[in-house]
Structure 1
Amino acid sequence: MSRMVLPLRALVVQAALAAVVLACSGPPDAASSGEEPLGRQEGTALATRVVGYFPTWAGDVNTIPYDRLTHINYAFVVPTAQGGLTGPSGTDARLRSLVTAAHARGVKVLIAVGGWNDGNDSGFESLAANAGTRTAFVNNLVNYVNAAGLDGVDIDWEYPDPGASAQNYAALIRELGAAMRSRGKLLTAAVVANGYYGEGIPTSTFADFDFLNIMAYDGGQPHSTYDYAVQSLNYWKGRGLPASKAVLGVPFYGRSPSSYVGYADLVARDSQAPYKDNVGDVYYNGIATIQAKTRLGLQQGGGVMIWELTQDTRNDTSLLLAIFNAAQGGGGATRYRIVNKSSGRCLDINGPSTADGATIHQWACHTGASQQWVLEPTDSGYVRIVSQYSGKVLDVRDVSTADGAGLQQWTWSNGGNQQFRTVATSGGFHRIEARHSGKVLDVTTCGTSANGTVIQQWTWSNNDCQQFRLEAQ
């Protein structure tokens, strides 16, 4: 499961962002900058929660990019059946150093309690079932928080079962929430993405928590897709959790059928790892997917959470840098309407639909999300064009290189038929070239302004049906 205690070991660099901006305003060869990654400028702040777990068994507190975070959860201490705590104490020197460094940069620190612990949640089960041990546990946590100068507690019980266990969980959280609130401290929890164990978190507890960290990974095939993130947020919000309390978890590691591999290790294996979502049979979230999930967490939830910080790189391929740049300022990347020069109509999803295979056509321009697209850098000046309605990307059907192949939306798979570059023509218009074919986006019946006319790819012939204006929204 997600928060395994294993020693596995924010958007893109400014150069990559420049590639998008310049591709929308000039020839692609203008985007060859080699500048340093973007970082937080003096006086700026993140406009959403970015919660990072930092393990007790790995990492250096002096190398954490504090300015790219809002909260750090120090993981873990483990409860005993009597309501005690095992693990580093509240006076632990490493923890105190972490708190001092984080507070100097305005970052809150919480103690994370529990974790996967080899699937052994017997300590939680026992202490929560008895009023006396619940009170002892709460008092021990209050003392721990005070001793370490912490900002609160993150409960990571994996997992309370529906039924009696869930009711004991609710009683424990009610008491712990009251103790934290009365002291001006936070109470959060890590929760399963969806399914049976989700019902082990009663809806009555939602009011006791400041927010929930949704572990939207280690589920689905392959693990931690964008669709799985959408399903996870929808599950919790569908149960009544306010969107502002739904923090979307993202992984800084990959999974194969037999192993877990940290993102930094994957980048060491394959220099192109940041720009895709698998290395062999190991699946993970590269920069583009992390960007899309950050935007999802910002727009549909209360921020993003990371398991875990020490698995990241420390250069321009950093996933935390990707998250930071997407979250900074609250809006993520610019959304565009893509307007055809000949018809004045906008690129639009038929339906509109969220399904793979939905046709891309032209339609009278409006302000709906089915006509809003974000250009997210992949590599070498190319971008993927992501729908803000569905989270799917623009895709040439059947990976065809033929004239007349239709455009559709599809789940991101890092294909060349899902990557494009915009090349300026004149008057603020561009041709939009598919990477795999070199063909450009084209309105099938040139000269028509009819709604529903399908978009295809075609050999560039410099006509108005093949030119588009990107209108920032």
Structure 2
Amino acid sequence: MTQESAVSRIATPFRTLALGAVFLASLGGCSGPGDVPTSDESLGAVESPALATRVVGYLPTWAGNVDTLQYGKLSHINYAFALPTAQGGLTGVSSSDTRLRSLVTKAHAQGVKVLIAVGGWNDGNDSAFEQMAGSAGTRTAFVNSVVNFVNAVGLDGVDIDWEYPDPGTSGNNYALLMRELGTAMHTRGKLLTAAVVANGYTGGGVPASVFSDVDFLNIMAYDGGQPHSTYDLAVQSLNYWKGRGLPASKAVLGVPFYGRSPSSYVGYSELVARDSQAPYKDNVGDVYYNGIATIQAKTRLGLQNGGVMIWELSQDTSGSTSLLNAIDSVAQGTGGTGAYRLVNKASGRCVDISGPSTADGAIIHQWACHTGASQQWSMEATDSGYYRFVSRHSGKALDVKDASGADGAGLQQWTYSNGSNQQFKPVDLGNGYVRLEARHSGKVLDVTGCQGGSGDGTLLQQWTWSNNDCQQFRMEAR
């Protein structure tokens, strides 16, 4: 296979475990890789309606607990991974796998569809896919293997995760495989989906003809440099595939439940264990990931298209810090605003609106923290790590008065107009606090004269960063 650039070779990093983990699974809990038995057995009658919004979660064979999954917050679960053989068989997961069968029963009881994901990163080795797809005979054998597996377990379809067919012969063979597999799945009332690269050269290995053969594509909009999964990359990825003719309704935006540094991959739950403020920002040291606000901004973007996909479910937390809960609050329309109180380190008081007023031009000051909406600010991603902070009380945005670039310029609320003076970047300080940098000036949010002591009603301003406690804020989720 041709080597792509680091940016265009968008893979799921934890999928590098897939090959070893699948082999361990086949040696440990399964009956062996061999031929897939044919059966029409069906597991788990559908009793409850599925989530109306498409939220697709991958569950790896080597991690996660099927008894504790939040099924009601998912529409589809992709069980990852089975592996193709060059001769057209399937290996790695047996149709008698008790964990998979339990997953199907529990998911179907809540109206959630389950697919088998075939492939994965496999340390970049896609030779089995290449050989199998290159021959009509082995393609037919593979299609039959998938049909038999899906029927035997009572699955709802298959997700093909070939990483990656190259443009040319490889891509043409991929298209033939997907056409044949799509026909086999759809005539049986089953789904065919595929995981695809975010954009770039390798994207060309998925011909546009495939778009009509799949129910939707899971776009792996992560691992795109450092930071590896920005909001900008999400937008670019969706635009790339839709620009090639993929219907928006079939473009499912992938989001990561893990972070990356230049030398490591770290699950979101581990990041939260390291830093209690991790849910409210996008990096812990040099590990970059998607916190709650970014996940919710991406969810809103995904819902304007075909939905959201998650790699992968076992890396989440529970309760108020859960990323799946954050996605669900947007998907269900029950919140999803990513709202926070901004608590000043020096004074312990919260950023608040004078009055509290709902008018343009109302000044921003600090006040003793309370539970009112005037101290709750929804973080909504713009681009490049910047956010607008929108008041839950007024619906207006935090704004540097007159778009001034000077030290001492005051803060106010104002109807959002996409101004750079209304966009702020939270910069992690490594101590549980952030500084909030104004995009237009590079200056930071600051409590006026707070080093001499300050109380309720002290005004907020912007000031050159000087690393004092007046300029540091703790973000508390509401």
- Asked if Structure 1 and Structure 2 have the same fold, meaning a TM-score greater than 0.5 normalized by the shorter chain, the answer is yes
Q: For residue 332 of structure 2, what is the amino acid of its counterpart?
A: Q
The Cα shift of 1:413 comes to: 5.1
Q: 1:311 and 1:44 mapped to 2: Cα distance?
A: 26
How far has the Cα of 1:191 moved from its partner? Answer: 0.2
Tell whether 2:407 aligns with 1:407.
no
In structure 1, the residue matched to 2:208 is 203
- Asked if the contact 1:298/1:327 (under 8 Å) is kept, the reply is yes
CA distance in structure 2 between the partners assigned to 1:435 and 1:65 by the alignment: 39
Structure 1 counterpart of 2:445, one-letter code: H
Which residue of 2 is the match for residue 466 of structure 1? Answer: none
SS in 2 for 1:258: coil
CA RMSD after TM alignment: 3.6
In structure 2, runs of 5+ residues without a counterpart are 1-10, 22-47, 340-352, 363-370, 389-398, 412-419, 429-433, 449-459, 463-478
Q: CA deviation at 1:409?
A: 3.2
For residue 314 of structure 2, what is the aligned residue in structure 1?
310
Residues 228, 260 of structure 2: 8 Å contact kept:
yes
Greater shift, 408-417 or 219-228, is seen at 408-417
Distance 1:46 1:389, change over 3 A: farther
Equivalent residue number for residue 367 of structure 2: none
2:165 aligned with 1:156: no
Q: Is the 8 A contact 2:426 2:436 kept in 1?
A: no
Contact kept, 8 Å, 2:231 with 2:383, in 1: the verdict is no
2-structure distance, mates of 1:212, 1:400: 48
Cα distance in 2 between the residues matched to 1:400 and 1:346: 18
Residue 268 in 1 paired to residue 273 in 2?
yes
Name the residue aligned to 1:286. Answer: 291
> Alignment length, in residue pairs?
361
Identity score, percent: 68
**Corresponding letter in the other structure for 1:2:** T
Match of 1:437 among 446, 452, 458: 446
What residue in structure 2 maps to residue 368 of structure 1? none
Which residue identity does 2:80 align to in structure 1? A
Q: Does 1:187 align with 2:196?
A: no
Q: Deviations over 1:182-210 (max 9, x none)?
A: 00000000000000000000000000000
Equivalents in 2 of 1:387, 1:303: separation in Å? 18
| AA matched with 1:325 | S
**How big is each residue's C-alpha offset from its partner over 1:84-109, in whole Å with a ceiling of 9 and x where there is no partner?**
11111112111000000000001000
Distance 2:285 2:405 in 1: 21
Q: What are the within-5 Å matches in structure 2 for residues 123-138 of structure 1? A: 123-138=128-143
State the structure with bigger RCO (CA 8 A, min sep 6), 1 or 2: 1
CA contact (8 A) 2:299 2:308 kept: yes
Tell me, in whole angstroms, the C-alpha distance in 1 between the residues paired with 2:385 and 2:423: 9
> 1:383 Cα shift?
2.5
Decide whether aligned partners of structure 1 residues 44 and 154 sit closer, same or farther in structure 2, where only a CA change above 3 A counts.
closer
Q: 2:15 aligns with which of 5, 12, 19?
A: 5
Change (3 A) 1:387 1:59: closer
TM-superposed deviation, 1:386: 2.7
1:110-159: per-residue Cα shift (whole Å, max 9, x none)? 00000001100000000000000000000000000000100000000000
Is 1:88 matched with 2:73?
Answer: no
SS at match of 1:212: strand
Matches within 5 A, 1:217-256: 217-256=222-261
Q: Structure 1 stretches of 5 or more lacking a match?
A: 10-42, 348-376, 420-433, 440-456, 460-473
> In the TM superposition, what whole-angstrom CA distance separates every residue of 1:215-261 from its partner, at most 9, and x where no partner exists?
00000331101111111111111111000000000000000111100
Q: Distance in 2 between matches of 1:298 and 1:227?
A: 16
Would the alpha carbon gap of residues 332 and 408 (structure 1) be closer, same or farther in structure 2, given more than 3 Å must change?
closer
In structure 2, how many angstroms separate the alpha carbons of the residues matched to 1:128 and 1:398?
Answer: 61
SS of the aligned residue for 1:313 comes to coil
Which amino acid is the alignment partner of residue 109 of structure 2?
Answer: A
Post-superposition shift, 1:403? 1.9
C-alpha distance in 2 between matches for 1:331 and 1:89: 41
TM-score, normalised by the number of residues in structure 2: 0.68
The one-letter amino acid paired with 1:436 is: L
| 2:50–2:110 CA contact under 8 A, matched in 1 | no
Q: Note if contact 2:216-2:251 (Cα within 8 Å) is conserved in structure 1.
A: yes
1:79 maps to a residue whose letter is P
Distance (whole Å) between structure 2 residues aligned to residue 95 and residue 270 of structure 1: 34
Give the CA deviation at 1:416.
3.8
- Which deviates more, 141-150 or 394-403? 394-403
Aligned to 1:36: none
From 381, 388, 393, the counterpart of 2:387: 393
Alpha carbons of 1:120 and 1:398: their partners in 2 closer, same or farther (altered >3 Å)? Answer: farther
Cα distance in structure 2, aligned partners of 1:309 and 1:5: 13
- Matched residue type, 2:423: Q
Cα 1:258–1:323 change in 2 (3 A) is: same
- For residue 114 of structure 1, the aligned residue among 119, 133, 153 is 119
Match of 2:219 in 1: 214
Equivalent residue letter for 1:114: G
**Post-superposition offset of 1:2:** 1.3
Q: Is the 8 A contact 1:399 1:417 kept in 2?
A: no
Cα distance 1:201–1:217, how it changes in 2: closer, same or farther (>3 A)? same
